A and B are shown apart, each in its own frame.
Chain A
Amino acid sequence: MNVLGISAHFHDATAALMVDDAIVASVAEERISRQKHDASLPLNAASACLAFGGLSAQDLDAVVFYEAPHEKFTRVLASTMAGFPRTLGRFVSGMKGWLGEKLFVRNALSKALDVHPNRVAFSSHHASHATHAFVMSGFDEAAVLVVDAVGEWTTTSIGRARRGEPVELLETHEYPDSLGLFYAAFTGFLGFAPNSEECSTMALASFGQPTRVAEVRQVLRLAEDGTFSLARDAFDLLADGKATYTPSFVRRFGEPANAATVERYGTLDALAPAVTVISPELTPWVDLAASVQSVLEEALLGLCRRAARLVPTRRLCLAGGVALNCVAVSRLAREGPFETMFVPPDPGDGGAAVGAALAHALREGRTVTIPKSPFLGLTPRYEDVHAMLEHLDPAHLSRVNNAGSVTCHRFTDDDRGLGFAADRLAMGKIVAWVDSRAETGPRALGHRSLLAHPGRLDTVRRLGRAVKRRAAFRPYALSLNATRATGVLHEGRAAGTLPWMQRTAPVHDGLRPQLRGGVHVDGTTRPQIVSREAQPRFAALLDAFEATTGVPALLNTSLNERGQPLVDSAVDALTMFARTDLDVLMLDTLALERTR
């Protein structure tokens, strides 16, 4: 069965292709459109997936949308009308979008892709999430917990999954009780972009103490039985599902962070010594972040226990946007009632496009499969860069500082290319690493990565300042070979079951100085544990780097400029090389090196 799964209209719109019952590609629209979190119907991604699979739309048995738009519409309508008559403006601007393609998805997809409307099907939002997580886990049976902002009405669901059957959702929490909206509202209150910069809230939390838990639990009430509810007066439930806070929230927590506070966050440093004195102005903010994080974790633990009571099994699959909170995931792995836990590398709405296709095929009685690794994106067209290099001048490729020259190295032997990269990394250079099919999900996993020597703090600081342009309180991650996991990490064996940066793990004390650049202020890292089977070339690079330096891991962060999605094509990579202070770009058999 050939199925195209589609997610859109909230954030991270994605198209996923199943050919003969096997998922073969999954591409987020943002990677092609170059607009971060692009939510528009992913037509560019859909054509890229079809081209990859060598199919035309006529070969598709179904196009499956990842949620039920009419049900979602009733939620948007109810939440807007509840605010009558203050919501006139919101109603008018919101409905303009809905009366277009958002409500008439069947029509829009059938027209844009040129398939018969009867071939467009729907899967519920949480069933899409749940199916993606379970099928990718490879488990025979499991409990499934989906936690996100909101789908149609459902914000949280617990389900039971068995191999070869559609996932059965047993119970749900409904809008507006939502852990995703809860965390997003505090993210906005702390001065970050809600539904986008939740990772900043999580990073900030590591600097604080959870001293404000009691206050936070007044707006997110947790019951003994694992259920929860939001204080209705504290959250402003916008029609488009983006919760912000109300005046009542401000009465409880004070004025929201202003520009000066956000600037002050800049004084926090993930690379600082473990015992850091936080200034009195910042203490309430970092403590609030720590408290919000802690209450979220308690809520998730409660849900896990509830799931364990409902579904007596030792395995849990966790999905939904909240599953991107890697600190919470590691707490669940450590303290939760399940023996084994699986979180897909793309647990958000991107993965839900994959899940929609899988869920449809399962309903049709098919036996579905999905690759174990997350490299389902597009292959760069290296030839575009090879062709134009002859016609470009160093000035075109050094736009930041207009200094230095660019040297082009071409390798006929891949080992020499790897040796070159390892050598430059050892010298403290910042290396952009582009290799074959892109990773799905928000994390760079060695196919579109920025790499650096984690022990060279000068390099790490330059990376933050001149390439990523990001706040110093946000930590970087480490990539290490599976054979090094227990040597580098506490809980290395457990971390190995979630190898794609889905969780955090403490780094052994003795190794912290040489890995400091990839370790957060609390001594943990978000590890990628590289399997030689899945990524032989990246594993060989790690080997070469260790052979040169004795350091068993590389600092690995996403290859993107601030505010931009992950680099996808070869031209994107060259663009980033030209626009930032990157030292080396490794692209196929080619290395571009900037010398100053």
Chain B
Amino acid sequence: METHAYHLSHVVAIGARPRLANGVRGGYPRGVYVALRRWAIRVVMPVMWRLWPRRRAHALAEFAATEADSGWQFKQAIERTPDPALKALLFCNLLEEMEHSERFQRLADGMGQGRVGVAPARRTSLATDTSSLRAFIAYVHAGELDISHEFDAYGRAAGVPAISGTFEALREDEEGHQSGLWSALRKLTRSDSEARSLVRRARWRRLYRSWLSVSKQLGDAMLALWLGLAYLLMGPLAVWSSRARMRSGHAAEQP
């Protein structure tokens, strides 16, 4: 039997590199988008949260779900990288994202009446194979940067010390993630310029995905309008037969 204790190795060293070290600039449309989002968070959100406290709880539960998804993405990446040190780095990030998720969920549960949950969304791995691992790391690195900015905005706007404090504490972790991932990306590409170009591409991908999600929300709103209309038109015709069907239901012989 072989027995040994662990030693701190370069996982910690990777995590300790300086922050925001990638030097990639955002570009014009992205800059506008980020500014708009920050404005919405700072100005619109506090009003919404005050008017509808239930929404605040729900938003926190959504943060919990997003953090859990980040953790899951790291787990997928662990299985796709052959590099043990990178596996270990991703594992530490996974643990932190799970803790973030738990903290947001606790806050959400504390705000609402009992447990507030969001329905599980389908998980789709961002890293589909080993060759896309670098693209994945670049994508998550870009995401971590956005998240740390967003957490900053939320922290300032939340107006409740427990919530602001959580955002502030987690923002530091996210900054650690983004610098750790940047170092990992440089190690994987062995060239700063390639790493930067991967991050640039990742940012465009993120912008495109944001656009997709905004247009989906618009589409959903339109669909909801149509469905409401259909309900009001169809309802009077369907209500009696539906009620009759709900009243029956006894043991029936199969044909």
Residues of A within 8 A of B (CB): 32-35, 37-41, 43-44, 77-82, 84-85, 87-88, 91-92, 95-96, 99, 169-177, 193, 227, 229, 232, 237, 259, 381, 384, 387-397, 399, 405-412, 416, 420, 569, 571-572, 574-575, 578-579
Q: Contact: B1 with A407, CB < 8 Å?
A: no
Please name 6 pairs of A and B residues whose Cβ atoms are closer than 8 Å in the assembled complex, sorted by A: A77-B238, A77-B242, A78-B245, A84-B242, A390-B6, A406-B6
B27 vs chain A, min Cβ distance (A): 33
Determine the chain A residues whose CB is within 8 A of the CB of B246 once the complex forms: 78-79, 82, 176, 232, 237
Q: Which of B75, B236, B250 contacts A84 (CB 8 A)?
A: B236
Q: Contact: A409 with B2, CB < 8 Å?
A: yes
Q: Which residue of A lies closest to B120 (CB)?
A: A35
B73 vs chain A, min Cβ distance (A): 11
**Contact A391 B11, CB 8 Å, known A227-B251, A397-B6:** yes
Q: Contact: B91 with A571, CB < 8 Å?
A: yes
Q: Which of B5, B84, B234, B253 contacts A81 (CB 8 A)?
A: B234
Q: Contact: B250 with A408, CB < 8 Å?
A: no
Excluding A174-B249, A391-B10, 19 further A-B contacts by CB distance (< 8 Å) are A40-B123, A44-B125, A77-B238, A82-B239, A84-B239, A85-B235, A88-B231, A91-B231, A92-B231, A169-B254, A174-B248, A229-B250, A390-B9, A393-B6, A394-B6, A396-B88, A420-B1, A575-B95, A578-B95
B189-233 contact mask (Cβ, 8 Å, vs A): 1 or 0:
000000000000000000000000000000010011001100110
CA distance A392 to B224 in the complex (A): 50
Q: Which residue of A lies closest to B248 (CB)?
A: A174
CA distance A392 to B235 in the complex (A): 61
B218 vs chain A, min Cβ distance (A): 14
Q: Contact: B79 with A391, CB < 8 Å?
A: no
Determine the chain B residues whose CB is within 8 A of the CB of A409 once the complex forms: 1-3
Q: Which residue of A lies closest to B89 (CB)?
A: A391
Q: Which residue of B lies closest to A417 (CB)?
A: B1
Q: Contact: B227 with A392, CB < 8 Å?
A: no
Q: Contact: A391 with B9, CB < 8 Å?
A: yes
Q: Contact: B227 with A95, CB < 8 Å?
A: yes
Q: Contact: A396 with B91, CB < 8 Å?
A: yes
Whether, in the assembled complex, B78 has its beta carbon less than 8 Å from a beta carbon of chain A, the answer is: yes
Q: Contact: B95 with A571, CB < 8 Å?
A: no
Q: Contact: A33 with B5, CB < 8 Å?
A: no
CA distance A412 to B85 in the complex (A): 25
Whether, in the assembled complex, B162 has its beta carbon less than 8 Å from a beta carbon of chain A, the answer is: no
Residues of B within 8 A of A (CB): 1-12, 68, 72, 75, 78-79, 84-85, 87-89, 91-92, 94-95, 98-99, 113-115, 120-125, 220, 223-224, 227-228, 231-232, 234-236, 238-239, 241-243, 245-254
CA distance A92 to B7 in the complex (A): 56
Q: Contact: B3 with A393, CB < 8 Å?
A: no
Q: Contact: A390 with B95, CB < 8 Å?
A: no
Q: Contact: B251 with A571, CB < 8 Å?
A: no
B72 vs chain A, min Cβ distance (A): 6
**Contact A571 B9, CB 8 Å, known A81-B235, A259-B114:** no
**Contact A96 B231, CB 8 Å, known A81-B239, A227-B251:** no
Determine the chain A residues whose CB is within 8 A of the CB of B250 once the complex forms: 173-174, 177, 227, 229
Determine the chain B residues whose CB is within 8 A of the CB of A81 once the complex forms: 234-235, 238-239, 242
Q: Which of A32, A388, A397 contacts B87 (CB 8 A)?
A: A388
Determine the chain B residues whose CB is within 8 A of the CB of A571 once the complex forms: 75, 78-79, 91, 94
**Contact A399 B95, CB 8 Å, known A40-B122, A81-B234, A171-B252:** yes
Q: Which residue of B lies closest to A170 (CB)?
A: B254
Q: Contact: A393 with B7, CB < 8 Å?
A: yes
B104 vs chain A, min Cβ distance (A): 13
CA distance A78 to B240 in the complex (A): 10
**Contact A177 B224, CB 8 Å, known A84-B236, A390-B84:** no
B223 vs chain A, min Cβ distance (A): 6
Q: Which residue of A lies closest to B228 (CB)?
A: A92
Q: Which of A33, A169, A175, A575 contacts B123 (CB 8 A)?
A: A33
Q: Which residue of B lies closest to A395 (CB)?
A: B8
Q: Which of B5, B95, B228, B253 contacts A171 (CB 8 A)?
A: B253
Q: Contact: A175 with B239, CB < 8 Å?
A: no
CA distance A387 to B86 in the complex (A): 10
Determine the chain A residues whose CB is within 8 A of the CB of B6 once the complex forms: 389-390, 392-394, 397, 406, 408
Determine the chain A residues whose CB is within 8 A of the CB of B94 once the complex forms: 571, 575
B8 vs chain A, min Cβ distance (A): 4
Q: Contact: A99 with B223, CB < 8 Å?
A: yes
**Contact A84 B238, CB 8 Å, known A35-B120, A92-B224, A388-B84:** yes
Determine the chain B residues whose CB is within 8 A of the CB of A173 once the complex forms: 249-252
CA distance A384 to B232 in the complex (A): 56
Determine the chain B residues whose CB is within 8 A of the CB of A578 once the complex forms: 95
Q: Which residue of B lies closest to A99 (CB)?
A: B223
Q: Contact: A393 with B122, CB < 8 Å?
A: no
CA distance A259 to B98 in the complex (A): 26
Determine the chain B residues whose CB is within 8 A of the CB of A80 once the complex forms: 242
**Contact A410 B2, CB 8 Å, known A92-B227, A174-B248, A384-B78:** yes
Determine the chain B residues whose CB is within 8 A of the CB of A35 once the complex forms: 68, 120, 123
**Contact A411 B1, CB 8 Å, known A78-B242, A394-B6, A571-B79:** yes
CA distance A172 to B249 in the complex (A): 9
Q: Contact: B251 with A405, CB < 8 Å?
A: no
B65 vs chain A, min Cβ distance (A): 9
Q: Contact: B120 with A392, CB < 8 Å?
A: no
Q: Which residue of B lies closest to A33 (CB)?
A: B123
CA distance A396 to B239 in the complex (A): 59
Q: Which residue of B lies closest to A78 (CB)?
A: B242
CA distance A38 to B124 in the complex (A): 13
CA distance A38 to B78 in the complex (A): 22
A419 vs chain B, min Cβ distance (A): 10
Determine the chain B residues whose CB is within 8 A of the CB of A176 once the complex forms: 246, 249
Determine the chain A residues whose CB is within 8 A of the CB of B113 once the complex forms: 259
CA distance A592 to B234 in the complex (A): 63
Q: Contact: A393 with B8, CB < 8 Å?
A: yes
Q: Which of B84, B92, B227 contacts A96 (CB 8 A)?
A: B227
CA distance A133 to B236 in the complex (A): 43
Determine the chain B residues whose CB is within 8 A of the CB of A87 once the complex forms: 231
CA distance A227 to B251 in the complex (A): 7
Q: Contact: A392 with B11, CB < 8 Å?
A: yes
Determine the chain A residues whose CB is within 8 A of the CB of B4 once the complex forms: 407-408
Q: Contact: A406 with B5, CB < 8 Å?
A: yes
CA distance A575 to B254 in the complex (A): 50
A154 vs chain B, min Cβ distance (A): 9
Q: Contact: B5 with A408, CB < 8 Å?
A: yes
Q: Contact: B11 with A34, CB < 8 Å?
A: no
A491 vs chain B, min Cβ distance (A): 32
B13 vs chain A, min Cβ distance (A): 10
Q: Contact: B238 with A393, CB < 8 Å?
A: no
Determine the chain B residues whose CB is within 8 A of the CB of A407 once the complex forms: 3-5
CA distance A585 to B2 in the complex (A): 16
CA distance A159 to B223 in the complex (A): 42
3 closest A-B pairs by CB: A391-B88, A35-B120, A40-B122
Determine the chain B residues whose CB is within 8 A of the CB of A44 once the complex forms: 123, 125
CA distance A410 to B250 in the complex (A): 61
Determine the chain B residues whose CB is within 8 A of the CB of A85 once the complex forms: 232, 235
